Amino acid sequence: MKTTEAENIEPRELFMRGKEWQNRNNFVKAVLLDVFLVFYALILLQRVIYYKLILDLREVPFGWPQLGAVFIVSVVLGASWAFTRTSLATRLFKLHRDNNITKWNVEIFAWLLFDLTFIAGWVVTKISIVDLFSAEGIHGANRIFSAMFHPNMGIFDDALSAIIETIYLALIATLLSIPPTFLVSFFTARNLMRENKITFAIYYILRIVFNFVRSIEPLIWAIIFSVWVGIGPYAGMIALLVHSVASNAKLYSEAIEGIEEGPVEAMVATGANRIQVVWYAVVPQIVLPFLSFTIYRWDINVRMATVIGLVGGGGIGTMLMQYQGLARWNEVGLIVLMIAFVVWVMDYISARVREAIY
């Protein structure tokens, strides 16, 4: 019999074994994390605090040997620190010695990391109070604001047709995204795909592909497609379409993963095939969430469409970019007002519709 081993193990025993294995695993992670944190702290200390703040260098020197040396030092420091079980990472994984040394170590190091990160962020951003409130700066702000508050109504007709183009572009991208997203979301839902190895492999690959596609902003997709199909609304539409499919597939499949399993089991028990089970037990449970996500996506796509225009995706964004390039702030003012209005209306409508659905 296959199960003799499983039979003789006490549940408690099994639990403790799992725990032990997990602890060992976590300790490896803790060592790696400690090494990384020490490395991070040392690099910031050297490059930001020493070179930038103390020596005030313009060009920070860069060299692999030096970096390697810092890395080796951090490996030694981080690992030995983790092995004393008083480090920050061992505390995070709850593998620490529970004493005052750990407490001080963790507190001081965590503060150091936070402060270093904050200072580095400040330096990198080139924050300057002087620039914000200099006479020249104030004068510039004055010019642009006064122009923007006197929008040039002369271009209203052009702007109106551009913004309509934007809304339709977003609408088409959303509509076209529905069928592929609907189909693909069943293949990226864990509960439907986990049964056998082949389907699970498909699930896994699809997830990776979609995560990748999703992590690329629509703006970048628009750049890609404007080279592919030429600058204009079509490029913008495809960019939004691609991003919508990848983003909504995730939301859709999460909805599928959250369904009640009972009806599925009942359908399986009648001898229905896979497609029938999905159609009768899964689909009725997910139409409303799907509809709601899709409307929300249209709302998002309208905002995105205005931005996408900036890189040649057509619509109001392209127009905005042209006037901004010419420094015609009165025209820019009108366009900004119109975008704000449309986004606000879309936001309101989509919220209302989603409320009505649920």
Partner 1 sequence: MLLKLQNLHKVYKSGTHALKGVSFEVREGEFLVVIGLSGSGKSTLLRCINRLLEPTSGTIEFMGQDITHVKGEELRHVHQQIAMVFQNFNLVKRRSVLTNVITGRLASLSTVDSVLERFSPEVYEEAFQALRTVGIEEKAKERADALSGGQQQRVAIARSLMQYFEKINNELGTTIICSLHFLSLVRRYATRVIALRQGGIIYQGDPKDINKEWFKTIYGEEAEEVEIR
- Residues 6 or more apart whose Cβ sits within 8 Å of residue 87: 30, 34, 78, 81, 96, 105, 106, 109
Query: CB of 26: closest distance to partner 1 in angstroms?
Result: 21
Between the alpha carbon of residue 132 and those of residues 129, 147, 252, 293, the distances in Å are 5, 19, 45, 41
If the CB atoms of residues 101 and 287 are measured against partner 1, the closer one turns out to be: 287
Q: State both tokens at 51.
A: 């070179």
Q: In whole angstroms, how close is the CB of 29 to partner 1 at the nearest point?
A: 25
Asked if 291 interacts with partner 1 (CB under 8 A), we say no
* Spacing of C-alpha 233 from chain mean position: 25
Measured CA to CA in angstroms, residue 309 lies from 238, 294, 306, 322, 345 at distances of: 13, 22, 5, 10, 20
Does 180 engage in binding with partner 1 (CB under 8 A)? no
Among 141, 142, 265, 341, binds partner 1 (CB under 8 A): 265
- Give the H/E segment covering residue 302: helix 283-308
Q: Residue 249 CB: number of other CB atoms within 10 A? A: 27
CA distance 150 to 333: 7
Output 274 or 352, the one with its CB closest to partner 1.
Answer: 274
Q: Which of 130, 270, 355, 358 lies at the binding interface for partner 1 (CB under 8 A)?
A: 270
Return the structure tokens found at 295. Answer: 């409307």
Give the nearest distance from C-beta 221 to partner 1 in angstroms.
33
Binding-site string for partner 1 from residue 18 to residue 57, where x marks contact by CB under 8 A and - marks none:
----------------------------------------
| Number of CB atoms found within 10 A of residue 20's CB | 10
CB 233 within 8 A of CB 317: no
Stretch touching partner 1 by CB under 8 A, among 147-155, 216-224, 272-280, 343-351: 272-280
Q: Does 129 bind partner 1 (CB under 8 A)?
A: no
Q: Is 267 an interacting residue with respect to partner 1 (CB under 8 A)?
A: yes
Check binding of 198 to partner 1 (CB under 8 A). no
Residue number with CB closer to partner 1 (59 or 261): 261
> Smallest distance from the beta carbon of 37 to partner 1, in angstroms?
36
Q: Which of 170, 239, 281, 338 binds partner 1 (CB under 8 A)?
A: 281
- Verify binding: residue 14, partner 1, rule CB under 8 A: yes
DSSP for 36-87 reads HHHHHHHHHIIIIIIIIIIS--SSPP--HHHHHHHHHHHHHHHHHHHHTT-S
Does 199 contact partner 1 by CB under 8 A? Answer: no
Q: Any idea which residue has 């510039």 for tokens?
A: 140
Tell me which residues touch partner 1 (CB under 8 A).
Answer: 1-3, 6-7, 9, 11, 14, 262-263, 265-273, 275-276, 279-281, 284-285, 287
